[in-house]
């Protein structure tokens, strides 16, 4: 019997209100080997808002997103410079644990990746074990229901929580991955083209979920869908890697201004579909 790890005690309720957290990149530069892929990106992703990263393929959006929760360093040849500040503290500070950065800044990937043989219930609470936390069955039950509700999936799966997560549809699997990310109570949720593999109906449900989640968690989303960026975000950031140059931020600002009256002609050309 394992008695070494204490149970997690969730204060009062899993629903308790938390302070929203902002995320700031300062001079972020990235390489793969000796190839410079991002050059001095500085951005403020405001607390309680959705920030959309837009731009053509190969401009560094996904690399930047992965830097925001220290996934970039998983690539053997990868390196970076600069700071990523969560509530003013650098997640790359040598004194901060990698697991803590990943717990506070969650990630939802382009392709849904639930643990296919694991039940829906166990998929949601999997993150607790991965972050070294234990919880009673009652706390787990509350976490599962809360996170599936917030991910817009509870009504569809509440009567089959013990069935495999891999048996769900693509859109349901993506919402299950969102629920799994929410279970460890991140302050920021990163989304790398979360709807690109989904049908229009599932995409609409995910977008509705994002609109509800942002009341409680700061969201940064990479999307190639300009209409989606316009629908879900409050702030947009246009990345571009011009010929033989690394990715840079061309323009960022409130989404309505970025799409309605961009300052840079390159932004105007991109959002109006003239390239990319």
Per-residue model confidence as pLDDT tens digits over 247-262: 999 999 999 999 999 9
- Give, to the nearest 10 degrees, the angle between helix 170-182 and helix 200-213: 20
Q: 21-113+187-271 is classed in which CATH architecture?
A: 3-Layer(aba) Sandwich (3.40)
With beta carbons less than 8 A apart as the criterion, state whether 56 and 240 touch.
yes
pLDDT surpassing 60 at residue 9: no
Report which of residues 34 and 129 the model is more confident about: 34
Predicted confidence (pLDDT) at residue 7 exceeds the cutoff of 60: no
Tell me, what's the pLDDT at 189? 97
Q: Are 259 and 236 in contact (CB under 8 A)?
A: yes
Residue 15 has pLDDT above 50, yes or no: no
Terminal CA-CA length for the chain: 57
Residue ranges per structural domain of the chain: 21-113+187-271
β partners of residue 232: none
pTM: 0.91
Mean pLDDT over all residues of the chain? 90
Cα distance between residue 59 and residue 43, in whole Å: 16
Tens digit of pLDDT for each residue in 186-243?
999 999 999 998 999 999 999 999 999 999 999 999 999 999 999 999 999 999 999 8
- How much is the pLDDT for 97? 87
């Amino acid at each position: 019997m394992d008695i070494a790890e204490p149970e997690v005690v969730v204060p009062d309720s899993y629903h308790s209100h938390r302070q929203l957290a902002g995320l700031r990149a300062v001079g972020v530069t990235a390489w793969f080997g000796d190839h410079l892929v991002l050059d001095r990106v500085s951005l403020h992703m405001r607390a309680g808002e959705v920030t959309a990263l837009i731009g053509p393929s190969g401009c560094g959006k996904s690399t930047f997103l992965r830097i925001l929760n220290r996934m970039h360093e998983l690539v053997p040849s990868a390196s970076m410079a600069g700071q990523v500040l969560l509530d003013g503290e650098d997640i790359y500070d040598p004194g901060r644990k990698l697991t803590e950065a990943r717990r506070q800044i969650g990630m939802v990937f382009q392709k849904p990746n639930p643990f296919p043989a694991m039940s829906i219930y166990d998929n949601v609470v999997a993150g607790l074990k991965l972050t070294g936390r234990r919880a009673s069955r009652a706390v787990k039950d509350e976490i599962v229901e809360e996170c599936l509700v917030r991910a817009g999936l509870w009504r569809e799966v509440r009567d089959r929580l013990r069935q495999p997560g891999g048996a769900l549809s693509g859109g349901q699997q993506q919402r299950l991955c969102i629920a799994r990310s929410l279970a460890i109570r991140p302050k920021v949720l990163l989304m790398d083209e979360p709807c690109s593999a989904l049908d229009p109906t599932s995409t609409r449900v995910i977008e509705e979920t994002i609109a509800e989640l942002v009341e409680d968690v700061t969201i940064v989303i990479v999307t190639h869908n300009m209409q989606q960026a316009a629908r879900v975000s409050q702030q947009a950031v246009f990345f571009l890697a011009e010929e033989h140059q690394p990715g840079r931020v061309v323009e960022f600002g409130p989404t309505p201004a970025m799409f309605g009256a961009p300052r840079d002609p390159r932004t105007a050309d991109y959002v109006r579909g003239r390239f990319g």
